Amino acid sequence: MTTVVLDQLVPARAGWSAVVRRGQLLTITDLAGNQAVDCLLYDAHDTTVRYSAPDTLQAQGSLFLTKGSVLLSDEHTPLMTVLADDCGRHDTVGGACSKESNTLRYGHHTWSQHACVENFLAEGARWGLGKRDLVSNINWYMNVPVEADGTLGIVDGLSSPGLKVVLRAERDVLVLVSNCPQINNPCNGFDPTPVQMTISED
């Protein structure tokens, strides 16, 4: 019998955070499709141990996250495992948008727009985390191919309404999410939409 512990709608552009206890499942539902969900993970009891995109790539030998991917910390220990994935491909190379990086990617006219790093800072502050704690993150549902010559870019998403990713916590994990507010980028079809975060347990 599966029990829902927490079920919350994250509005377009908003941040979200929660602790997912060891063994619990976190389901991220892309309600309207083509929405990038930027995500950082921390050991809930020792936040100096945090998600590491490089360690995760090393361990699985592939750029893309999907079912079976184990999300590792920078101490090379498991934080969460992708148990199910309707989409098939998620990014962990492209990081989060910020006011600062947006000035490089699009122009200084974007300075006053929303950005993921602001969401991460605001959510992280609720748990005693600061800028030092922000590292390369996961981008659920974001599509970032790499060409033979190294050309890399965020392109149209592979997601569609209602797709789900299911993660199992391998220890008590603090999850920070920025439901990406980008409006200059195909990562969310130039139109941020809400997502659903559901924590459940058997």
Q: Which stretch binds another protein (CB under 8 A): 5-13, 17-25, 28-36, 68-76?
A: 68-76
Instruction: Find the length of the chain.
Output: 202
Going by C-alpha positions, the residue among 123, 126, 134, 131 that lies closest to residue 95 is 134
Q: Is 127 in the site for another protein (CB under 8 A)?
A: no
Identified binder of another protein from the candidate list 154, 165, 180, 199, rule CB under 8 A: 154
Is 70 among the residues that bind another protein (CB under 8 A)? no
Under the binding rule (CB under 8 A), the answer on residue 145 touching another protein is yes
Give how far the C-alpha of residue 41 lies from the chain's centroid of Cα atoms, to the nearest Å.
9
- Residue 146, interface with another protein (CB under 8 A)? yes
Q: In terms of CB distance, is 142 or 169 closer to another protein?
A: 142
Which CB atom, from 11 or from 145, has the smaller least distance to another protein? Answer: 145
3 belongs to the binding site for another protein (CB under 8 A): no
Distance, in Å, from the CA atom of 49 to the CA atom of 52, rounded to the nearest integer, reads 9
Nearer to another protein by C-beta: 16 or 120?
Answer: 120
- Closest separation in Å from C-beta 1 to another protein: 36
**Cβ-based neighbour number of residue 165 at 10 Å:** 25
- The CB-of-199 to another protein minimum distance in angstroms stands at 26
- CA angle, residues 137, 141, 144, in degrees to nearest 5: 70
